Amino acid sequence: MADTQESVRLESNAVDGYVGLAQTYLALNRPDDAKKAIEQAQGRKLDGDFLHWTIYQLAFFKGDAAEMERQVAWAAGKPGSEDLLLSFQSDTEAYYGRLAKARDFSRRAVDSAVRNDSKENGSALAGKCRFAGSAVRKHSNREARCCRSTGAGSGPGRETVGRPDAGANW
């Protein structure tokens, strides 16, 4: 932590130090301090992909869906950021059990990477998408067996992953 703070002090016009500081604060479960580090960078008119990725992560940590959407919108059409933030959004949707949306964002992330000639990212994201799809199919099969045995049904468009509110219609 001290090294990162010293880096910011010595190179106050480099966004990387602020991003590192914010990431460290997030890892230490100190979101308010992470937000301050981001605001300091923005106050110095610093910008960059890593800063926006960190803003997205802070927004996820705080459950701020509107800010996450703003960051995904910021990344639209930006090679190297669009695919990553779409992938982040896919992970967020999966975290909240919205698996159909998660698959959609994963497909969009792969399409973005391929479109921007990032075959390496496209391949990695496609692998992630296949893995997630496989997990969803396995879950759906288990859920279908469970529903048949209990007489319950999840209904169309209700995909759930062991949430306390698993019956909620997303």
pLDDT tens digits, 73-104: 999 999 989 999 999 999 999 999 999 999 99
* Residues 85 and 71 placed together within one structural domain of the fold: no
> Considering only CA atoms, which of 147, 61, 137, 141 is closest in space to residue 100?
137
Tokens of 124: 């990695």
H or E segment and range at residue 141: helix 119-150
Asked whether the beta carbons of 81 and 49 are under 8 A apart, the reply is: yes
* Residues 20 and 33 placed together within one structural domain of the fold: yes
The domain in which residue 59 lies consists of 1-75
User: Measured between alpha carbons, how far is 113 from 121 in angstroms, rounded to an integer?
Assistant: 6
Task: Give per-residue pLDDT as tens, 3-60.
Answer: 777 777 777 888 999 999 999 999 999 999 999 999 999 999 999 999 999 999 999 9
* Residues 121 and 44 placed together within one structural domain of the fold: no
Which of 44, 75, 106 is a domain's end point? 75
Say whether pLDDT at 127 is over 60: no
* Residues 36 and 120 placed together within one structural domain of the fold: no
Tokens of 81: 């950021």
User: Measured between alpha carbons, how far is 112 from 104 in angstroms, rounded to an integer?
Assistant: 12
* Residues 22 and 43 placed together within one structural domain of the fold: yes
* Residues 115 and 66 placed together within one structural domain of the fold: no
Find tokens 């698993």 and name the residue: 166
The tally of domains found in the chain comes to 2
Q: For residue 151, how far is the Cα from the chain centroid?
A: 35
Say whether pLDDT at 148 is over 80: no
User: Measured between alpha carbons, how far is 26 from 43 in angstroms, rounded to an integer?
Assistant: 20
* Residues 102 and 157 placed together within one structural domain of the fold: yes
pLDDT at 89: 96
Between 54 and 161, the more confident residue is: 54
* Residues 38 and 96 placed together within one structural domain of the fold: no
Q: Measure the CA angle with vertex 91, ends 67 and 49; round to 5°.
A: 55
* Residues 70 and 85 placed together within one structural domain of the fold: no
pTM of the model: 0.69
Which of 75, 105, 126 is a domain's end point? 75
Say whether pLDDT at 122 is over 80: no
* Residues 68 and 128 placed together within one structural domain of the fold: no
Contacts of 67 (CB under 8 A, 6+ apart): 55, 56, 58, 59
pLDDT at 163: 36
* Residues 2 and 66 placed together within one structural domain of the fold: yes
* Residues 114 and 83 placed together within one structural domain of the fold: yes
With pLDDT > 70 as the criterion, what percentage of the chain qualifies?
Answer: 69
